[in-house]
Amino acid sequence: MNLTIKAKNTTLTPSIKSFISEKLAILERFLKEEDKLRVELEVDKRDKDGMHFRAEVDIQPRGYFAEAKANDFYEAMDMVLPKIKEQLVKSKDKKISKRRNAARKLKGK
C-alpha cells in the first residue's frame, strides 16, 4: 500500500499524519501492495454550511473514492473511513460470491 497525504490551505502536522496512518491500517487487509492510497485534507474558510474541514480518500487503480466534511480533520477522517471500508467490503464479498457460485456450478456438473 502506497500512502500519499496532501494538505491544502493548511499544514500537515505529525500528529495528523500519524492519526491518518493509524486509521488507514484497518484497510490494509483489503488492499494489495501495489494499490495507491491518496488522502487529501483541505480547509475551506468560505464554506457556507460551517463545515470547514474536508477529508478525501482515493484508492487507485481500483477507483474507490469517499469524501466527508466536518468541524475538524479528525472528525472528517472518522466520517470518511466507514464509507471507503463499506466499498471495499462490498467488493470483497462480491468476489467471494462469484467464486463460490462458480465452484457450485462446477460441482453440480
Check pLDDT > 80 for residue 73: yes
Residue 70 above 70 pLDDT? yes
pLDDT at 32 over 80: yes
Q: State how many domains the chain has.
A: 1
Neighbour-count burial for 1-40, b at 16+ CB within 10 Å, e otherwise: eeeeeebeeeeeeeebeeebeebbeebeebbeeebebebe
> Model-level pTM?
0.82
Record the cell numbers describing residue 84, joined without a space: 471507503
Provide the pLDDT for residue 82.
Answer: 95
Which residues form the domain of 69? 2-108
Mean pLDDT of 79-83: 95
pLDDT confidence of residue 1: 78
Q: What is the mean pLDDT of residues 43-54?
A: 78
Q: Which helix (H) or strand (E) holds 21?
A: helix 14-24
CATH number of 30's domain: 3.30.160.100
pLDDT at 109 over 80: no
The pLDDT mean for the chain works out to: 90
How much is the average pLDDT of 1-9? 90
Over the stretch 87-100, which tens digit does the pLDDT of each residue have? 999 999 999 999 99
